[in-house]
Amino acid sequence: MSESPAPFISAPGKAFLIGEYGALHGFSALVTAIDVRAHAGHAKSPIRDESAVVRCVRDAVAEHLGLESRAALGPAPVVDTRRFSLGLRKLGLGSSAAVAACVAAYHLQRAKPELSLTGLRETALSIAFHGHRAAQGGRGSGADVVSSTLGGTIRFASIDAVTPVRHPKWLHIGFVDAGKPASTTSFVKAVEARRLEDRATIDRVIAHFGHCSDQFQAAFRPLAGDETAAGQYTAIDEAVSAHNSGLRRLQKLIDRPIMTDSIERIIAFAARFGLAAKPSGAGGGDLVVVFSPDRASLDQFAVELFRERRIPLLQNLAVAAPGLRVERRPPLSSRLSGFFKLDIAARRAAVSRVTALDAESFTSIDTGALGLESADNLIENVVGTHELPFAIATNFVINGRDFLVPMVVEEASVVAAASNAAKMIRAGGGFIAHADPPWMIAQIQLARRGDEGFPAREAAERIERERDALLDRADRAHPRLVARGGGSRGLEVRVLADDMLVVHAIVDCRDAMGANLINTIAEELAPHIESITGWTAGLRILSNLADRRCSHVIARVPPKALRSNLCSDSWSPEDVVDRVVAASRFAELDPYRAATHNKGIMNGVDAVILATGNDWRAIEAAAHAYAARSGRYAPLAVWRKADDGWLEGRMSMPTAVGMVGGATKVHPAARLALDLLDCRSAAELGEVIVAAGLASNLAALRALATEGIQRGHMSLHARSIAMGAGATGDELETLTAQLISSGEIKHDRAVALLRALRAGSGAINTPE
């Protein structure tokens, strides 16, 4: 069989919006493609154990092409589905359907490279549908395969009745992880078995699901004429509520936990905010989909859900994603083996290959790339520029996605330590992170002079009564921000003293850090608050304690990964876990240790902040204020031994960062850093930042608790001292080794050793 060069294929996941059980019996369902993608590409070595889905789809491809068996297709592709997982646990986003679409398209593209994308999707759809169905024993509607292949949002009744649906912009959708995987097949089998016993009852329940789906779909459309989002949303809310009632009835009939306690709690919590929520899929503990008529309500729900229940709204799950497609390159891998051994040119080439960035992009971090004229336009009184090393930390996997993390830092060992710790965390499934909505606080200080105005409590009440009018005025100050989905989110009044109040206007800044727009809003509101209270406005400025805009990260590390690369056999894996936990407890009990603990975290955080052109001073101020929010200075990250013996770390901290405006827009190195990261939002950038901080913390704690911090640090310190003495080329490695061996890692000693080395003696005179 003639074949083209091996392509890279990707396909999205899927989520049912409504109609899951009805679609199994001819009623229509609404399904949307989710931009979490599976990627298929050439396997470097034959895959020994093909999954049932891969095997059945390859059989279907071979039959379509008229081949005797799947062996004639050549090796199966390797399929990457990491994005479908939180750590090591799969989410219910249809990974098997995405795999089916990818495998079918991979072989088709190799056999028939002349196929257009439309032709590839249409042909792959039929093959993937039948192959996936065979792997499932003939069960399932196939809606997930159709969604993964075609993309977008579809109305599905059968493989022959699929209609693309335009996603209404007024309806906002979020997803919550209900905490455990569910087996769709087992639920379907249970329904089939109960139907054999009492067909009429089950058919009535299924018909009920069909009616709910029809009601939902009738409202799932763009607004027309005088229609309002609130009016349309009411129909969706009613349809979802009726659907959930049907699920509770079905649960009793089949005696299976469709509506788990976790799902019920999430649904009830959403109702507190006037939002509709339901299981996405068969139920049983997987995903809950939440519907909102506006972005603000969905964000408020997410904030309170995490604050009260520690359950995050899953991010970066964009709906109506593109379907199956041919990719220019495989997904980025941050595992660059031997990266530190390469010279600078080779490192640039390696990064260019995996990111597809033009090699010329790296000229933006060459010496002198920030010219004097550009520097003079950035700040005042410029007399030159100051350079720091720009490096890349490897091995980071965050929410199933690989990142090469740019770092700008002068301290030896920071980048290497973060990369090494990220490798340990990678062994446990990578970092699990999420970020709060990008809410910032505009502060308006009010002072009462003498008897002017109303007493403090009454003044505060008057401001509260004008809350909606003030927030509306804040939105009018930045209409473009509102158009981008941001804007005012709340108003708070705090009485600080009988003669001093402060008003907090809470504003969603989207992908901006937000300082300038927050300050503008504070100044806009001040005179109106003065007129309401009779008090005098003082300071009008943002607060850098951005505790409404935190990023949160969890890392789990298998004990064996912690033990790797230690030079001594003195510690068992379990010993290392216990020692790291004890070091964490030390920081929790002692603020003197907590300060150093947090400094190690900021090694990683500040390095990414500097690389991306964000305000490291603001981040530092926020981090330490946040660490002391209880009234006692505490560690930002804590580590515990989980029930399964693994090490588990958690960290939260404010991350008021931006991807637009300021130095992120004009500084060439910052632009390169953001291009390398390829973050989809400022929220995702915040997740990368806290992951870098937690990795740096783990590296430091492991070193301190085992070999001591100096062993690894001193080898890198010796190298920098050798460079400072003037060593170049092969001299650098030799002199570094000599300094370590001498036990005297000082500049004067390095100069003397280098002089001897160049004179040809190479002698080492150890100190007395």
- Residues annotated as catalytic are 411, 599, 615, 713
Query: What pairs with residue 392 in β-bridges?
Result: 406
HEC readout, 160-182: CEEEEECCCCCCEEEEEECCCCC
Burial 45-56 (b: 16+ CB within 10 A, else e): eeeeebeebbbb
Cα–Cα distance for residue pair 277/234, rounded to 1 Å: 13
Mapped to the 3 state alphabet, what secondary structure does 376-416 carry?
Answer: HHHCCCCCCCCCCCEEEEEEEEECCEEEEEEEECCCCCHHH
71 DSSP assignment? G
Are residues 624 and 598 in contact, defined by beta-carbon separation less than 8 angstroms? yes
**Coil, strand or helix: which one is 154?**
strand
Helix (H, G, I), strand (E, B) or coil at 12: strand
Which bin fits 395, alpha (ψ -120 to 50), beta or left (φ > 0)? left
Give whole-number Cα distances, 314 to 241, 581, 593, in Å: 22, 28, 34
3-class SS letters over 29-40: EEEEEEEEEEEE
Kind and range of the H or E run holding 654: strand 647-654
Among candidates 244, 248, 231, 302, which has minimal Cα distance to 272?
Answer: 302
Nearest Cα residue to 557 out of 654, 629, 645? 645
CA distance 546 to 312: 18
DSSP 80-140: E-GGGEETTEE-SS-HHHHHHHHHHHHHHHHH-TT--HHHHHHHHHHHHHHHHHHHTTT-S
- Cα(738)–Cα(756) distance, integer angstroms: 11
Secondary structure of 557-590 in HEC code, one letter for each residue: ECHHHHHCCCCCCCCCHHHHHHHHHHHHHHHHHC
User: Taking the alpha carbons of 299, 313, 436, 153 in that order, is the dihedral positive or negative?
Assistant: negative
- State the burial class of residue 226 (Cβ atoms within 10 Å of its Cβ: 0-12, 13-18, 19+): exposed
Interior/surface letters 601-622, b for 16+ CB within 10 angstroms, e for the rest: bbbbbbbbbbbbbbbbebbbbb
Cα–Cα–Cα angle for 535, 536, 538, nearest 5°? 135
Torsion of CA 739, 745, 751, 755, to 10 degrees: -20
Contact 370, 668 (CB under 8 A): yes
Return d(Cα 498, Cα 555) in angstroms, integer: 46
Could you give the 3-state DSSP secondary structure of residue 16? Answer: strand
- Please return the burial class of 393, using the count of CB atoms within 10 Å of its CB with bins 0-12, 13-18 and 19+: buried
Q: What sign for the dihedral angle of Cα 339, 342, 344, 345?
A: negative
C-alpha distances out from residue 206 to 201, 210, 364, 753, Å? 9, 6, 61, 84
Radius of gyration of the chain (CA): 29
Task: Please answer whether residues 712 and 427 qualify as being in contact, where contact means their C-beta atoms are separated by less than 8 angstroms.
Answer: no
444: β partners = 503, 540
- What H or E segment, with its residue span, contains residue 203? helix 199-219
Distance CA 287, CA 267 (A): 11
Q: Round to whole Å and give the CA distance between 261 and 311.
A: 14
